[in-house]
């Protein structure tokens, strides 16, 4: 992906900025809860990740559990290989939190959190 993005940027005459390139994925994902990020898994498609992960907030204990699963099943804890996808519902950079409603769908060994509605919180 990075190479593809850099080629596009080169054609457009702009520079690519990748602040997390070469950072340890375990350290990165561990930093998210402590920095105020509300991250939810929106899809999973890896051994070790089942339907309980869909829509689940990644707090400190969930991050440690995810790192353990990633080690056992040999995938990147940040999900860089497509083992899971995420949505960020709140962060220090956001003025208001995103509130989503949805349900889960599961097919064989993968699932999705299907968002049916969303709104912004009335205040921080």
Give the structural domain span for 54: 22-91
**Residue 19 pLDDT grade (very low, low, confident, very high; cuts 50, 70, 90):** low
In a domain, 69, yes or no: yes
pLDDT exceeding 70 applies to what percent of the chain? 97
In a domain, 57, yes or no: yes
**Residue 23 pLDDT grade (very low, low, confident, very high; cuts 50, 70, 90):** confident
> Terminal CA-to-CA distance of the chain, rounded, Å?
34
In a domain, 6, yes or no: no
Q: Residue 107: helix, strand or coil by DSSP?
A: strand
Instruction: List residues bridging with 85 in a β-sheet.
Output: 43
Which of 124, 121, 53 is closest to 87 using CA atoms?
53
In a domain, 114, yes or no: no
Q: For residue 13, what are its two tokens? A: 């005459």
Q: Tell me: pLDDT of 20 over 80.
A: no
Q: What is the CATH number of the domain that holds 29?
A: 3.90.1490.10
Per residue in 36-63, pLDDT tens?
A: 999 999 999 999 999 999 999 999 999 9
- Quote the number of domains for the chain: 1
Contact status, residue 40 vs residue 58, Cβ threshold 8 Å: yes
Q: Residue 89: helix, strand or coil by DSSP?
A: strand
In a domain, 107, yes or no: no
In a domain, 117, yes or no: no
């Amino acid at each position: 992906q990075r190479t593809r993005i850099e080629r596009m940027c080169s054609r457009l005459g702009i520079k690519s900025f990748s602040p997390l390139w070469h950072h340890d994925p375990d350290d990165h994902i561990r930093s998210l809860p402590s920095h105020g990020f509300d991250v939810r898994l929106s899809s999973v498609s890896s051994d070790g990740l089942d339907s309980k992960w869909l829509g689940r907030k990644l707090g400190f204990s969930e991050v440690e559990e995810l790192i353990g699963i990633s080690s056992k099943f040999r995938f990147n804890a940040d999900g860089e290989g497509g083992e899971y996808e995420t949505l960020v519902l709140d962060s220090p950079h956001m003025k208001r939190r995103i509130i989503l409603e949805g349900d889960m769908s599961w097919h064989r060994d993968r699932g999705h959190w299907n968002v049916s509605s969303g709104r912004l919180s009335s205040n921080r």
